[in-house]
Amino acid sequence: MSKDLYLNAHSSSNLYLLGGMGSVIPTAQGLALSTSNHVIALEGDGSLLMNLGTLATVSRYPCSNLVCVILSNGVYQNTGGQPVSTVDYTTLAESLGLESFFDCYSIADLARALSDDSRAGPKVAVANVVAEDGAQGPFPLTPADIAKRFQATKCIDHGARDMSPATER
């Protein structure tokens, strides 16, 4: 997904996690806890299944500045298109107490979800998409380039943040 994002919507503020299946949302949550800026995580459904417990952590330590967009195409895109297990994300979100959950079937649905501020906590939107071949070839940035770009963004506030679980607030 990093290659596709780079080719279609590159920004100097994008943090690309290459080969980090299951680490996008935890990394984004860490960033969201350390800044007042909005943080958007783009995670594939196969990647999320590598670390499904991350949604429990998002619920327990909510960040109102965190948006998780799960691109659900039903396959492990980066490893050859193998099918993923079916997950009822609506039931999962309800069971975890994620109040700002959205199941999206169109760009308009996703736009409404991202602009909806009527519910508290982090936003989690599942964008149901069609599996397509992703970008091919080498990624144009090295891990060192990515690290330097990230350090240069100065996106972390370094301010104190209440880290107690939501149930204790």
SS3 percent helix, strand, coil of the chain, rounded to 5, is: 40, 15, 45
Using one digit for the tens of pLDDT, what is the confidence trace for 40-77? 999 989 889 889 899 999 999 999 999 999 988 887 77
* Cα separation values, 3 from 43, 79, 134, Å: 13, 14, 8
Collect all residues with Cβ–Cβ distance below 8 Å to 98 and sequence separation of at least 6. Answer: 55, 58, 59, 121, 122, 124
| Residue percentage of the chain with pLDDT more than 70 | 87
Rounded distance between C-alpha atoms, residue 87 and residue 32, angstroms = 26
Rg (the chain; Cα; Å): 16
Residue 169 confidence (pLDDT): 47
pLDDT band at 79 (very low <50, low <70, confident <90, very high): confident
> Is the distance from CB of 109 to CB of 115 less than 8 angstroms?
no
Is the per-residue pLDDT at 18 higher than 90? no
pTM: 0.80
Q: What is the mean pLDDT of residues 16-29?
A: 85
> Is the distance from CB of 15 to CB of 27 less than 8 angstroms?
yes
